[in-house]
Amino acid sequence: MTEVEAKKPQESLQNRLAQVVELLHRHKLVEDLTHRQEGQHHDRVESLVHRQNLAELQRKLDELHSADVAHILEALPLDDRLTVWQLVKVERDGDILLEVSDAVRETLLADMDDHEILAAARDMDADELADLASELPRDVVHELMESLDAQQRERVRSALSYEEGQVGALMDFEMVTIREDVSLEVVLRYLRRLKELPGHTDKLFVVDYDGVLKGVLPVKRLLVNDPEKLVSEVMATDPVSFHPDEDGYDAAQAFERYDLISSPVVDKNGKLIGRLTIDEMVDLIREESESEVLNMAGLREEEDIFASVWKSLRNRWAWLAINLVTAFMASRVIGLFEDSIEKLVALAALMPIVAGIGGNSGNQTITMIVRAMALDQVSTGNTSRLIRKELGVGLVNGIVWGGVIGVVAYLLYDSWSLGVVMTAAMVLNLLLAALMGVLIPMTLVRMGRDPALGASVMITAVTDSGGFFIFLGLASLFLL
Amino acid sequence: MTEVEAKKPQESLQNRLAQVVELLHRHKLVEDLTHRQEGQHHDRVESLVHRQNLAELQRKLDELHSADVAHILEALPLDDRLTVWQLVKVERDGDILLEVSDAVRETLLADMDDHEILAAARDMDADELADLASELPRDVVHELMESLDAQQRERVRSALSYEEGQVGALMDFEMVTIREDVSLEVVLRYLRRLKELPGHTDKLFVVDYDGVLKGVLPVKRLLVNDPEKLVSEVMATDPVSFHPDEDGYDAAQAFERYDLISSPVVDKNGKLIGRLTIDEMVDLIREESESEVLNMAGLREEEDIFASVWKSLRNRWAWLAINLVTAFMASRVIGLFEDSIEKLVALAALMPIVAGIGGNSGNQTITMIVRAMALDQVSTGNTSRLIRKELGVGLVNGIVWGGVIGVVAYLLYDSWSLGVVMTAAMVLNLLLAALMGVLIPMTLVRMGRDPALGASVMITAVTDSGGFFIFLGLASLFLL
């Protein structure tokens, strides 16, 4: 889409959000009044104020960069969000739709009719259309495709043929290609004729007559080298490139490691078919770390914070249900020892300590391992070493904190044997937490799943049931 | 430092890591043999094989990009890591030290003598030196500073005067500056004389004779415009710029929003003093999301996964200790109701279900809120709305899952009143979890702390103690 030069934010984003909220409040106050006094002669005055407020809000919005408007839409509850959305100039709709999160985009699209959606999508590039296509009404997509030329239509189809997260679905098609047998002078003249270069053009792609990638000419080299030189003398012949079926996150990590800004995408015959740019990769890096956080807590996907209660329930119910099952199992473990608890009720008060500290410690271990896995630092070769280390940490923690709580138990219930059982149970449960903290994510990965998936729920399940069993078991054996 | 053109990775990073590990294993096998048969005539044969293995490993390492060597060092246990480190060519030491994480850098520096460190740091830029300075021995830093010219020394001092995470500590000094009253032709000739441009040069900085920033000339515009035009006609006069005392993460978010590659840093008089580049910003975005994950689990900082047990303990003990206190409090809550439990031992088996589901649900809420706060989507104006929504989710979840578990409790213990108490306790505890899931991070932020800090430990503390109190309290009131 058209590129807007970002301007220096004179005020922080939080400030601008606050201003919009303030204008919205004023607007709503007036609206309430108008409503209440309907049919009276105050009417006209109020609707004037009303219009003035909206005009001021609109002026405010017009000054803002599309990305900032998108941010403000994200931070507003549904009704306010739609009020703001209706005030945004039609020609900016497309830019803003591309900036907002999926959850918010859905709410905005639901508020637009087909005609408006078509207008917003008309200026989009093929890759942008492909990103949005799945969320648009079928006949709108159909009409849009009709309006494209053959090459653009082919590109949309190609982008749609890849799975979300694959390089092919992330690439754009805004490449500047040149031949290797021309001089830099010719390249410079060619660029001048283009009038405008695509965003993130830090290199030009050198292709032969069949479109096969021969190398890249970094703009930096174009600028510092003698214009008489040939492209072939100056270009880099072995650049980092990607295939469309590669995993996008792997590409993002390569961008991060090699400090790339753009990179060619080639098919299996070496033909240039698109390019990746750092802005898409940054989005991916952020999404990936977010899904790690969400997955660990047992949330399925990003949730618009003002989503309806119903939507939130759908997002959260699955892991809560699993948690219900694991909690029930822990409860049955306790049920096995009801006789012991009846004889020594102190056990009921002490058992959650063993389970709780085990859960906390296990969560620390699993968080470390999931993080290391996300950074590709864990190979199967070093599993046993990791387990040994975590067992070491668990052992020391068990002895130290188990010792402390053992002494406390002795002081509270005046029974040294209860204290010893408490300490022993803590040591054993922390060892269990360490072991499972390594094995759970490893097993998930071996099963081809995300290692963070519900990691927290699972480790807590183990340390709860395990902790109750160990503590009550030891107590039944040695105290009763 | 000198720029290495990244080459296409022929094999995945995981593969290369596996190869290095394989070579290391072979090396160690031979070493073990040599050790065992010391003094025998096999010696020479084995040390030949030994040398061949190491030579092959070295060849492998020489082929790799510095960032990849850094990655491999991260993924190796300490002894292997040092073996590899000693095989790396001296002239690459500096690049690699800048790529590895703080935890790993410490282990590498500990293995180098002052002379080696000096050699590695000699080619670094001022901003890179400043990044490393705090980790280097005092006299090495002193000697390094002596070897710099006045401008460089001033730059290192300036960078060191800012706190970690401030823009001033993140900026580099590799700016290409031009005047506004020259033609693009002159600029192009000037660039050719420079022979090389700094990495991430997507724009040139236009300054007046006092060094005050007048605008930026995007390289894209330089390339497509008529060379006869003046810089002042083509430049962007109101670019996004930053102040050295701004928060780096805010700058990173601006880079993300406005798709920036580089951006000027100016002092309060508008004088250009440095620039920020996207690569540093990407690192910051990653670090920020990592610290969010770690903070939620109660880990203080990134931990090298092969860190010693002792180091891991130091990283983890603080939140475990806090957890011990909260677990003890929960235990005392149960202690209050020991009489009730003695009378109805089923309470002991059922109470962890109420606490556990509350904890899970509270963790879901707090994760959502912390994420929204990290993205600046939560303003104080919408607290009450968020609380209402989360209470709604908690209420429905409480009725549904509390109902299920109430029925199960009735079936298990054949007491419908026990089932009703169970359901009521679940509803109340989930409402508590929802309320505290919003209020805890909000309060932390108002206190000027990181909202993720130990969020998980705190919400669990509330839902445990609260859950036990609500359930046992209701049971004592209505069942006994």
B88: left (phi over 0), alpha (psi -120 to 50) or beta: beta
**CB spacing of A382 vs B77 below 8 angstroms:** yes
- B98 vs B102: CA distance, rounded Å: 9
Q: Over A95-117, what HEC string results?
A: HHHHHCCHHHHHHHHHCCCHHHH
Nearest CA distance, A312 vs chain B (angstrom): 7
Q: For A74, which residue in chain B has the nearest alpha carbon? A: B377
- Give pLDDT, residue A123: 81
Total CB pairs under 8 A between chain A and B? 381
Comparing CA positions, the residue from B245, B241, B249, B246 lying closest to residue B270 is B241
- A473 vs A476: CA distance, rounded Å: 5
Three-state DSSP class for B235? Answer: coil
Nearest CA distance, B463 vs chain A (angstrom): 12
For B250, residues 6+ apart whose C-beta sits below 8 A from its C-beta are A12
Nearest CA distance, A213 vs chain B (angstrom): 13
Q: Please name the CATH architecture into which domain B309-479 falls.
A: Orthogonal Bundle (1.10)
Domain chopping of chain B, boundaries: 13-169, 177-278, 309-479
Instruction: Work out the angle between the directed axes of helices B126-133 and B150-160 (0-180°, nearest 10).
Output: 50
Nearest CA distance, B27 vs chain A (angstrom): 16
- Closest by Cβ to B353, choosing from A297, A331, A392: A331
Determine how β-strand A213-218 pairs with β-strand A203-207. antiparallel
DSSP state letter for B163: P
Residues of B in contact with A381 (CB under 8 A): 18, 21
A74, A97, A304, B112 from A103: Cα distances, Å: 9, 11, 6, 51
- Closest by Cβ to B371, choosing from A293, A355, A376: A293
- Give pLDDT, residue B191: 94
The CATH fold assigned to A177-278 is: CBS-domain (3.10.580)
- Closest by Cβ to A224, choosing from B191, B226, B361: B191
- Give pLDDT, residue A26: 75
Residues of A in contact with B305 (CB under 8 A): 368-369, 372, 377-378, 386, 389
Full pLDDT tens readout for chain B, 480 residues: 434 444 445 456 677 777 777 777 777 766 665 555 555 555 555 567 777 778 888 888 888 888 889 988 888 888 888 988 988 888 888 889 988 888 889 889 988 988 888 888 888 888 888 888 888 888 888 888 888 888 888 888 888 888 888 999 999 998 999 999 999 999 999 999 998 899 899 999 999 999 999 999 999 999 999 999 999 999 999 899 999 999 998 899 899 889 999 999 999 999 999 999 999 999 888 888 777 777 777 776 666 777 788 888 888 888 889 999 999 999 999 999 999 999 999 999 999 999 999 999 999 899 888 888 877 777 666 788 889 989 999 999 999 999 999 999 999 999 999 999 999 999 999 999 999 999 999 888 888 888 887 788 889 999 999 999 999 999 999 988
- With 0-12 / 13-18 / 19 or more C-beta atoms within 10 angstroms meaning exposed / middle / buried, residue B418 is buried
**CB spacing of B68 vs A282 below 8 angstroms:** no
- Closest by Cβ to B368, choosing from A305, A385, A404: A305
CA–chain centroid gap for B58, Å, is 31
Spelled out in words, what is the top-level CATH class assigned to the domain B13-169? mainly alpha
Three-state DSSP class for B8? Answer: coil
Residues of A in contact with B299 (CB under 8 A): 364, 367-368
With beta carbons less than 8 A apart as the criterion, state whether B344 and B480 touch: yes
DSSP assignment of A417-471 equals: HHHHHHHHHHHHHHHHHHHHHHHHHHHHHHTTS-TTTTHHHHHHHHHHHHHHHHH
- Give pLDDT, residue A471: 96
Please report, as a single letter, which amino acid is at residue B44.
R
Q: What is the ipTM of this complex?
A: 0.81
Three-state DSSP class for A178? Answer: strand
This prediction has a pTM of 0.81
| Residue segments in chain A with a per-residue pLDDT below the cut of 70 | 1-13, 29-47, 300-303, 379-381
- A290 vs A299: CA distance, rounded Å: 11
- A316 vs A318: CA distance, rounded Å: 6
Q: For residue B381, what are its two tokens?
A: 């104006």
- Closest by Cβ to A259, choosing from B279, B303, B320: B279
- Give pLDDT, residue B3: 41
- Give pLDDT, residue A5: 45
Tell me how many helices (H) and strands (E) chain A has: 22, 5
Q: For A73, which residue in chain B has the nearest alpha carbon? A: B377
- Give pLDDT, residue B34: 58
- A236 vs A215: CA distance, rounded Å: 5
Q: For residue A52, what are its two tokens?
A: 């003035």
**CB spacing of B352 vs A464 below 8 angstroms:** yes
- Give pLDDT, residue B2: 38
**CB spacing of B330 vs A356 below 8 angstroms:** yes
Chain segment A161-193, per-residue pLDDT in tens = 888 889 999 999 989 999 999 999 999 999 999
**CB spacing of B345 vs A338 below 8 angstroms:** yes
Instruction: Report the alpha-carbon angle A193-A198-A199, nearest 5.
Output: 140
**CB spacing of B220 vs A200 below 8 angstroms:** no
Q: For A202, which residue in chain B has the nearest alpha carbon? A: B202
- Determine phi and psi for A33, rounding to 5 degrees: -60, -50
Determine how β-strand B177-178 pairs with β-strand B203-207. parallel
- A181 vs A201: CA distance, rounded Å: 21
Please report, as a single letter, which amino acid is at residue B268.
K
- Give pLDDT, residue A31: 65
- Give pLDDT, residue A255: 92
- A54 vs B9: CA distance, rounded Å: 55
Three-state DSSP class for B335? Answer: helix
For B343, residues 6+ apart whose C-beta sits below 8 A from its C-beta are B480
* Count of CB atoms situated within 10 Å of the CB of A381: 15
Q: Which helix (H) or strand (E) holds A153?
A: helix A150-160
**CB spacing of B197 vs A283 below 8 angstroms:** no
Residues of A in contact with B348 (CB under 8 A): 334, 338, 341, 345, 347-348, 351
